Amino acid sequence: MKRFISTGLEKSVSDGEGVAILSNFFRTVSRLTLFTGRFFKEAIKPPYEFGEFAKQCYLVGNKSFLLIAITAFIMGLVLTIQSRPVLAEFGAQSWLPAMVGVSIVREIGPVITALIFAGKVGSGIGAELSSMRVTEQIEAMEVSGINPYKYIVVTRILAATCMLPLLVAFADSVALYGSYFGINLSDTVSFQSFFFHVFKKLDFIDVFPAFIKTFFFGFFIGVISCYIGYNAANGTQGVGKAANSSVVFSSLMVFLLDMIAVQVTSFFI
């Protein structure tokens, strides 16, 4: 009898926890949707913070520039070195530049760069905004008659949306140069011949969708990081939690958006 009652209580508690988690999920999604809708409203309504936007573009690009350059070069180099023996078994070494080029431009370059961007910039935005919330700087802006959402949220989301595509284009270029360097470790291929084979196999359907989805990557990284930081709580402990959550959820969103982009692109191939 006691065992039956205990099992029933455990089941009810488990069901209650599941309902609470599901309710919290939908509550968070609805708040994030309203937060995003407010962004579009504030972004088109004057006055515009051009100075702060330009500053955030510089900071966002400068924070990630060196790390993305190093990662992209190593990525292209390692991908080339690892792929060459497999192609050599089939006598298809001549396909190596094209294969690496298509892989980097279509998938690896945008996704890896977005993940680095989420880890570097997303965590920074989440920590910065949460510290401003904890130290009541956001409340001080509201008292002073400044719209804190427009000044600190809109500018950062726009900067992330605009800068990530440029960083991806830069990363793709560096990764291709890393691939060229990797090929010349064992063979001798001219610079012109390497990039001729790369661009010969790249089509519009390879470049355009990959470039467009980087805008969505940057936008959602900015939105999620700003949302978490702007609504942070629990004092200084919330700063670390906001930085960590910004990276985790932004990275998950990158994978989700990439999966959707692949499905959409497959209809046109």
- φ, ψ for residue 102 (rounded to 5)? -65, -40
Instruction: Answer whether residue 268 shows pLDDT above 60.
Output: yes
- The per-residue pLDDT of the chain, averaged, comes to 86
How many domains, in total, are found in the chain?
Answer: 1
Q: Which long-range contacts (CB under 8 A, 24 or more apart) does 43-47 make?
A: 43/154, 43/158, 45/150
In a domain, 232, yes or no: yes
Question: 6 or 119: whose pLDDT is higher?
Answer: 119
In a domain, 28, yes or no: no
Give residue 4's pLDDT band: very low, low, confident or very high (50, 70, 90): very low
The Cα–Cα gap between 87 and 79 comes to 12
Give per-residue pLDDT as tens, 91-147: 777 788 888 898 999 899 999 999 999 999 999 999 999 988 888 888 888 888 788
∠ CA 182-185-188 to the nearest 5 degrees?
100
Question: 234 or 210: whose pLDDT is higher?
Answer: 210
In a domain, 146, yes or no: yes
In a domain, 6, yes or no: no
Q: What is the value of pTM for the model shown?
A: 0.87
In a domain, 19, yes or no: no
- The residue segments making up the domain with residue 76 are 35-264
In a domain, 52, yes or no: yes
In a domain, 29, yes or no: no
The Cα–Cα gap between 141 and 56 comes to 18
In a domain, 234, yes or no: yes
Closest CA to 249 of 212, 220, 211, 207: 220
Residues in the chain: 269
The Cα–Cα gap between 166 and 251 comes to 19
Give per-residue pLDDT as tens, 169-211: 999 999 999 999 988 887 788 888 888 888 888 888 888 889 9
